[in-house]
Structure 1
């Protein structure tokens, strides 16, 4: 549910800054904000949230059985820890839309695009600060690959939307690092919810 609500709000920041536009848009009005989205966007974000939210606790348990490293916030992170991770991810998401145009043709020495460098470094920093586990890094990297792959299919196969400044296959290169940052944010929410469900079951069974 959280992903279904928060995802379109974040995604709407991209359309508001002319980063992308849908073939058949729906307009969401929130006071002075008018965000462009589409009916299937909440469903897609909800599915991604379920996959990430379920996989992180399962991988944590698998690592624990083998004496492996646990995430920085533990298997039962506090709500303040979870909300801090989500807040910083949302800020990174918003920054990707706000900064695309001014940083579009800026590059660091060596040719690395400035926006890619900024979003990649912030994504890695979010993983380090709010996860720092091998399983968390695995899921963040898988998300950074799977997310753009789904977008390529939606853009080139279904022609569902278009990016204004694509880099390859219809998508911008920096979008992968936004997905990377989403891993620890959604993963910690999944850990918190999973821990609450387990605790409620134990209390019910006693």
Structure 2
């Protein structure tokens, strides 16, 4: 989970810097082919990796707790197919990239017809739809809401206390209002990857015990 998130996170985050949404105080610039120029910093993969572990571990644990109480289970259960997992990740990446592209100024002004409230509404709708399609559980909704709150809170500390980066158009304590919906959308995507990894580890453990 840490390795996957440490790779995917900076690639998504680079979409924001490439669209002039945010910039780091001490950036590292990486060229990943002629079309992808990535601005990041050494601590970014570590932070995304930690978030991936938290989300990846918490979803299977909450699923097991709900199952013990007779509660609802995720759309594709505790062992979703790789196609389902990768589809959720791909749509999250698309939402992440669209947040940067739609927030980017155009000729010194915002995109026509897409002010901040409209962007918030669009990203909120995609986040809710993503949870409904790829999770659909109360525990998943709880984790999405928690991520939507915790993510910006961490960013506020990084921006205002450590001064590690800055958003071009901040709205509240250095962060834009719409970023919470990006975090909310990421929770089901990473959560399903955690479910898949957890299921594979449990199956391997059971097979090893049968051979003893």
- For the aligned pair, the TM-score class normalised by the smaller chain equals over 0.9
Asked if structure 2 preserves the Cα contact closer than 8 Å seen for 1:104 and 1:115, the reply is no
In the TM superposition, residue 107 of structure 1 has moved relative to its aligned partner by 6.2
The number of equivalent residue pairs is 203
Asked if structure 2 preserves the Cα contact closer than 8 Å seen for 1:22 and 1:162, the reply is yes
Residue in structure 1 matching 2:41, options 26, 38, 41: 38
For 1:63 and 1:80, locate their aligned partners in 2 and report how far apart those are by CA, in whole Å. Answer: 25
Q: Which runs of 5+ in 2 are unaligned?
A: none
Asked if structure 1 preserves the Cα contact closer than 8 Å seen for 2:102 and 2:114, the reply is no
The answer as to 2:21 corresponding to 1:19 is yes
Deviation per CA, 1:120-140: give whole Å up to 9, x if none: 000000000000000000000
Find the residue that maps to 2:75 and give its secondary structure: coil
For 1:88 and 1:75, locate their aligned partners in 2 and report how far apart those are by CA, in whole Å. Answer: 20
For 2:194 and 2:25, locate their aligned partners in 1 and report how far apart those are by CA, in whole Å. Answer: 32
The answer as to 2:115 corresponding to 1:89 is no
Asked if structure 1 preserves the Cα contact closer than 8 Å seen for 2:159 and 2:166, the reply is yes
For 2:131 and 2:117, locate their aligned partners in 1 and report how far apart those are by CA, in whole Å. Answer: 21
Residue in structure 2 matching 1:5, options 7, 26, 34: 7
- 2:190 is matched with 186
The answer as to 2:58 corresponding to 1:50 is no
Q: TM-score, normalised by structure 2?
A: 0.93
For 2:148 and 2:20, locate their aligned partners in 1 and report how far apart those are by CA, in whole Å. Answer: 22
Q: Which runs of 5+ in 1 are unaligned?
A: none
Cα RMSD (Å): 1.3
How does 1:1-206 map onto structure 2 within 5 Å? 1-32=3-34, 33-101=36-104, 106=113, 113-206=117-210
Find the residue that maps to 1:181 and give its secondary structure: helix
Q: TM-score, normalised by structure 1?
A: 0.96
For 2:39 and 2:101, locate their aligned partners in 1 and report how far apart those are by CA, in whole Å. Answer: 15
In the TM superposition, residue 28 of structure 1 has moved relative to its aligned partner by 1.3
